[in-house]
Amino acid sequence: MKILVALKRVADPANHNKVKIPAAGDKIDTAGLEWQINPFDLYALETALRLTEDGKAPKTRLGEVVAVTLGPAETETNLRSALATGADRAIRVDTTDDALDGRLVAAALQKLVEEEKPDLVLMGKQVVDGENNYVGQALAELLDWPMATFAATIKEEAGGLLVGREVDGGVSTLRVKFPAVVTVDLRIVAPDSVRSSKTAEGFKYPYEEVRFAPLPAIMQAKKKPLAVKKLADLVGGATLSSKYVKFEAPPARKAGVKVKDVQELVQKLATEAKAI
Amino acid sequence: MVDTSVSFMSSLCMGIIEEQVLIPYPAMAAEQKETLHGVIDSVKQLLGPRAEDFRKWDRAGEMPAAFVEELKQFGLFGLVIPEEFGGMGFKSASYARTLQEIAKYDASVAVTVGAHSSIGMRGLLLFGTPEQKQRYLPKLATGEMIAAFALTEAGAGSDAAALKTRAERDGDGWVLTGNKLWITNGGIADFFTVFARTGELEGKPHITAFIVTRDMPGVSVGTHEDKMGLRASSTTTVHFDGVRVPAENVLGEENKGFKVAMAILNNGRTGLGGGAIGAMKKLIEHSTKYANERKTFGKSIREYGMIKLKVGQMVVDCYATEAAVEMVAALIDGGYEDYAVEAAISKVFASEALWHTADEALQIAGGNGYMCEYPYERMIRDARINRIFEGTNEILRLFIALTAMNDVGSQLKELSSSMRGLFDDPIKGFGVLRQYALKHASLVTGIPRARSRFTLVSPELHEATTVFEELTRHLAAAVDRILRKHGRNIIGKQLASRRLANIMIDLFVLACVISRVNASLAALGAEKAAKEVDILKVFSGQVERRVKHAFGLIDINDDELIKGLADHAFDAEKFSWDNV
Ligand SMILES: Cc1cc2nc3c(=O)[nH]c(=O)nc-3n(C[C@H](O)[C@H](O)[C@H](O)COP(=O)(O)OP(=O)(O)OC[C@H]3O[C@@H](n4cnc5c(N)ncnc54)[C@H](O)[C@@H]3O)c2cc1C
Ligand SMILES: Cc1cc2nc3c(=O)[nH]c(=O)nc-3n(C[C@H](O)[C@H](O)[C@H](O)COP(=O)(O)OP(=O)(O)OC[C@H]3O[C@@H](n4cnc5c(N)ncnc54)[C@H](O)[C@@H]3O)c2cc1C
């Protein structure tokens, strides 16, 4: 199976207080931020690796995983890290965050998918910076491929996947045929959430969350191919369809008040908060 | 081209500031940084979740074999082994940085990896024949073999030349007999770098280094020692009972084992330094969190001057230690021939800065600091060994001072031939410094002025460079004065040597801090480098006061009085005054 995994770097959510907006409000000042791969995208990578191996012998790779990102040269660090973790190849589309919106990202990915012809595109359900929850769905639409979002479990079947999605009040199970786009949720990295056709039923991965690269793999990753493409070569003259008008920090939260009883609470909700 | 035969400290003792050795401050290539980011990330994921285990294993006094196996699988034993042999091929800078990361989580793990890479197999790396490397390096890289360094014996610690383990010729090989003490990794090692006596000349022992493997008949190890700190790391005796070692297992030249041992210790120094930095950074994290949260007298204790003083000093010390260790790594990696004094300085400074940091961190935590539930008491126990092993700080201070005086002395042409080679055997060499001091013309006057100044440092750091230049002139004068005053008796004048060593330690570290801050200033600009400039201001002020004080004590001091008190106590073997 050939899987394309899309990764985006995000500012470390633990350091969100370092995000600064200049007085002009024309941009986000990213200097001094620490970057990491969007956690949901790491889960997508882990899912891709699990789908291309027999869980009990993960060193033998049984498929191909291609990691893709759109970003400046620094993001190659994130791609190298994906390669060290187990991806076979990487592609960086050279651009910067402020030159992108969800539609452009989906359009660029569409082009890459048409070139690479994977059986499956795996993505995080959303990024933890913009929280857009958009690109996976848009890509499936552009490709006109079947789609399953918020995957919590994935079992490989002949010619497709059985995807369990956690929805309000239960689990909905979808059967998607290849080629397909699947976006993953947090639960996908539980020890028995993903099963490739080679992995035995009942097998549990010996760790929670995602695998990490042993040191020799970090050196080997340097030798794995990493291609760089120009955004314009993928999307032609397409331009941003959403424009950033102004950036501002959310207003600081006001201190709360204590109410003495339910009556006062209801009254305040109605008159002050205007929430009811 | 850089002249790699220059020794910064040796020149400094003659009043010359070889600034191009230390400036610009070493910077890592982008690719090296990227690799380290990967390593740091992976180490965090491997060791981060094990905090509870490390606590447990410290109590138990052992780490489980299954965990050592995990370390092997992870690749931690291949750090300094060339890639062609399956290792990571790290030079000193990346190696020190990696040990720093490991030490943030657990000192026992750091020393297990460190004893293997810094000293256990470093002799093979530095002196091994192509066949020896081919035979052992691939296995050492995967951890299939873990390495240990076996020099110390019951009667031979600092005085390593007193070792009794013997190697007798037997046909085309050797037979080894003797007992080694406190060998790190003893219980888990398969590869030992062993030092044994192979003869003597004019009362001086000849020592040879051998590669001995655990599977050779006659090799055995004792039980795990019950230690103060590093409790989960393996420390054992190692015994050689008529072990037949083939001739091809001689490491380096026969009878040149001392040179091998010293080269290993010098070359591996940045491992210990890196570990100390990791522990200090962790302690700063603990202390700042604690002080932010703890309230007394209605205020958070971070508000109090005396707590700020402790934390501020921790920051200065950590920055300075890192500057010195990274600089020594750059000297080693840059192919400098003579960095032994600078490396020794980094070890002494790092181990003492860590000790001070650990002590103050515990103090900030008050009574909690004393409780095993908190990390401080373990970190202080783990930190203590650094001032003892890989050469005690006393021995290293003697080495630093006497090497400088030897170098200064040997600059005089008439004496240079008789001085050469004396310090190949630095510890025993102390006994043979020649009478040159009295003939010693003043060195200070003949030095071209330009070379006693910094020219490559930003004028914004003028204050610190001026201090450094002034202290350097004093240093050259002090070496001169001490040599004149004590002549050949300098060997017996340890307190004079110690004073000189302390001055040299402070000056080298200050030079490293100047270089580091200078680089940050250039890269970040005055505004963003402001705090680093403050670190330099504080540190250079402290160095200036300490060094000037020490200069003052060269001629007038209480040395003889205090030694007299010690002798009095030695004779009585107790404190002699009792008011009841
Ligand atoms: C946990 C641990 C791990 C170790 N790991 C290893 C290892 O892997 N391999 C190995 O070979 N060794 C190892 N050692 C041994 C260590 O290197 C020695 O303990 C060290 O060299 C000091 O020797 P010693 O203990 O015999 O002290 P001594 O040499 O007896 O020194 C006692 C004191 O006297 C001082 N002193 C000695 N001579 C002089 C002098 N001329 N002038 C002034 N002061 C002096 C010393 O500084 C010290 O304070 C380890 C030790 C420990 C505790
Ligand atoms: C083994 C042990 C036995 C003990 N036995 C007893 C006992 O028998 N009876 C008893 O009552 N107590 C006992 N104690 C408690 C002991 O007296 C306290 O730990 C001690 O008073 C410090 O208080 P603390 O631990 O709360 O530290 P904190 O008061 O929280 O102090 C933390 C740090 O902040 C510093 N600090 C606090 N306030 C200021 C300030 N205004 N300015 C500058 N610095 C400040 C402190 O010096 C310390 O370094 C014991 C403690 C231990 C560890």
Strand pairing partners for A182? Answer: A122, A148
- Widest Cα–Cα separation across chain B: 80
Neighbour-count burial for B562-576, b at 16+ CB within 10 Å, e otherwise: eeeeeeeeeeeeeee
Read off the pLDDT of each residue in B1-28 and give the average, rounded to a whole number. 92
DSSP for B69-131, please give it: HHHHHHTGGGTTS-GGGTS----HHHHHHHHHHHHHH-HHHHHHHHIIIIIITHHHHHH--HH
Residue B113 clears pLDDT 90, i.e. is over it: yes
Least confident of B29-43, B130-144, B283-297: B29-43
Residue A54 touches partner B, C-beta closer than 8 Å: no
Q: Is the pLDDT of residue B425 over 90?
A: no
What residue spans define the domains of chain B? 17-424, 425-568
Contact B408, B419 (CB under 8 A): no
Ligand 1 proximity of B386 Cβ (cutoff 6 Å): no
Which atom from ligand 2 is nearest to the alpha carbon of B310? 49
Contact in structure between B80 and B41 (CB atoms under 8 Å): no
CB A216 to CB B78 under 8 A? yes
Q: Of residues B572 and A169, which shows the higher confidence score?
A: B572
Pocket of ligand 2 (CB under 6 A): B 294, 296-297, 301, 304, 306-307, 363-364, 366-368, 370
Give whole-number Cα distances, B140 to B90, B116, B191, in Å.
Answer: 14, 9, 8
> B1 in helix, strand or coil?
coil
| Nearest CB to A214; choose among B37, B74, B79 | B74
SS3 of residue B204 by DSSP: strand
Chain-centroid distance, C-alpha A158: 26
Q: Looking at the predicted structure, is the pLDDT value of residue B32 above 80?
A: yes
Q: What is the DSSP letter of B40?
A: H
Question: Could you say which of B38, B73, B76 has the minimum Cβ distance to residue A218?
Answer: B38
Residue B312 neighbours by CB under 8 Å, 6+ apart: B538
Q: Chain B within 8 Å of A220 (Cβ-Cβ)?
A: no
Q: How far apart are CA B218 and CA B164, in angstroms?
A: 17
Mapped onto helix, strand or coil, the DSSP state of residue B353 is helix
The answer to whether B41 contacts A215, with C-beta atoms less than 8 Å apart, is: no
Residue A165 near residue A149, CB atoms below 8 Å: yes
Structural tokens at position B289: 């969190």
| pLDDT band per the 50, 70, 90 thresholds, residue B268 | very high
pLDDT greater than 50 at residue B424: no
Q: Burial code of B357-391, b = ≥16 C-beta within 10 A, e = fewer?
A: bbebbbebbeeebeeeebbbbbbbbbbbbbbebbb
Average pLDDT over residues B368-376: 97
Atom 40, ligand 2: which residue's CA is nearest? B304
pLDDT at B372: 96
Q: What is the pLDDT of residue B108?
A: 98
Helix count (H) and strand count (E) of chain B? 21, 10
* Rounded-to-integer distance, Cα B543 and Cα B552, Å: 14
Residues in B touching A215 (Cβ below 8 Å)? 39, 42, 74-76, 78-79, 88
Tell me the per-residue pLDDT of B390-417, one tens digit each, with 9 for 90 and over: 999 999 999 999 988 887 766 543 344 4
pLDDT at B446: 45
Q: Return per-residue pLDDT of chain A as tens, 276 residues.
A: 999 999 999 988 887 777 888 889 888 888 878 889 999 999 999 999 999 999 999 999 999 999 999 999 999 999 999 999 999 999 999 999 888 999 999 999 999 999 999 999 999 999 998 888 999 999 999 999 999 999 999 999 999 999 999 888 899 999 999 999 999 999 999 999 999 999 999 999 998 889 999 999 999 999 999 999 999 999 998 888 888 889 888 888 888 888 999 999 999 899 888 888
Helices and strands: H and E segment counts in chain A: 7, 12
The single-letter DSSP state of residue A243 is -
The pair of three-digit structure tokens given for residue B522, joined into one six-digit string: 């250039």
pTM, to two decimals: 0.92
Residue A174 is part of which domain span? 2-271
Q: Residue B420 above 80 pLDDT?
A: no
Q: Is omega for the bond preceding A179 within 30 degrees of 0, making it cis?
A: yes
Q: What is the mean pLDDT of residues B292-314?
A: 98
| pLDDT of the residue at B438 | 32
Chain B residues with beta carbon closer than 8 angstroms to that of A80: 34, 38
pLDDT, residue B25, reads: 98
Residue A276 lies in a domain: no
Which ligand 2 atom is nearest residue B368's CA? 25
- Are A216 and B88 inside 8 Å of each other by CB? yes
Q: Are A38 and A7 in contact (CB under 8 A)?
A: yes
Strand pairing report for B204-213 and B191-201: antiparallel
Suggest the residue from A208, A219, A226 to mutate for an interface test with chain B (most B CBs closer than 10 A): A219
User: Over the range B242-265, which residues count as b (16 or more CB within 10 Å of their CB) and which as e?
Assistant: ebebeeebbbbebbbbbbbbbbbb
Residue B405: partners with Cβ closer than 8 Å, 6 or more residues away? B13, B433, B479, B482, B483, B490, B497, B500
Write down the residue that tokens 């080894």 correspond to. Answer: B176
CA atoms within 13 A on the CB side of B223: 3
Fold of B425-568: Butyryl-CoA Dehydrogenase, subunit A; domain 3 (1.20.140)
B85 pLDDT higher than 90: yes
Domain-embedded: residue A173:
yes
Is the bond leading into B24 cis (omega within 30 degrees of zero)? yes
**Which value does ipTM take for this structure?**
0.85
Strands B219-221 and B299-300: unpaired
Q: B17-424: what fold?
A: Butyryl-CoA Dehydrogenase, subunit A; domain 3 (1.20.140)
Q: How far apart (Å, rounded) are the C-alpha atoms in residues A7 and A92?
A: 10
Would you say A235 and A95 are in contact if contact means Cβ atoms under 8 Å apart? no
Q: How far is the CA of B303 from the centre of ligand 2 (A)?
A: 17
Active site residue B390: yes
How many structural domains is chain A composed of? 1
Q: In this complex, is the C-beta atom of A76 within 8 Å of any C-beta atom belonging to chain B?
A: yes
Mean pLDDT confidence for B88-105: 98
Residue B360: what pLDDT?
98
- Measure Cα distances from B572 to A131, B34, B565, B567, B569 in Å: 77, 61, 11, 9, 5
* CATH number for position A165: 3.40.50.620
Euclidean distance between CA atoms B557 and B551, whole angstroms:
10
Q: How many pairs of residues across A and B have Cβ atoms under 8 Å apart?
A: 46
- Mean pLDDT for the stretch of residues B255-270: 95
Residue with tokens 């990274």: B326
d(CA B158, CA B153): 10
**Nearest CB neighbour to A214, from listed B34, B37, B42:** B42
Q: Tell me whether residue A213 is in a domain.
A: yes
**pLDDT tens per residue, range B516-540:** 999 999 999 999 999 999 999 999 9
State which residue of chain B sits closest to A210, comparing Cα positions.
B45
Pair A29, A20: CB distance under 8 Å: yes
Alpha-carbon distance values, B548 to A71, B168, B404, B483 (Å): 55, 53, 19, 19
Annotated active-site residue in B101, B377, B390, B544: B390
**pLDDT of B450:** 59
Percent of chain B with pLDDT over 90: 85
Test A213 with B42 for CB contact under 8 angstroms: yes
Q: What are phi and psi of B471, to 5 degrees?
A: -65, -30
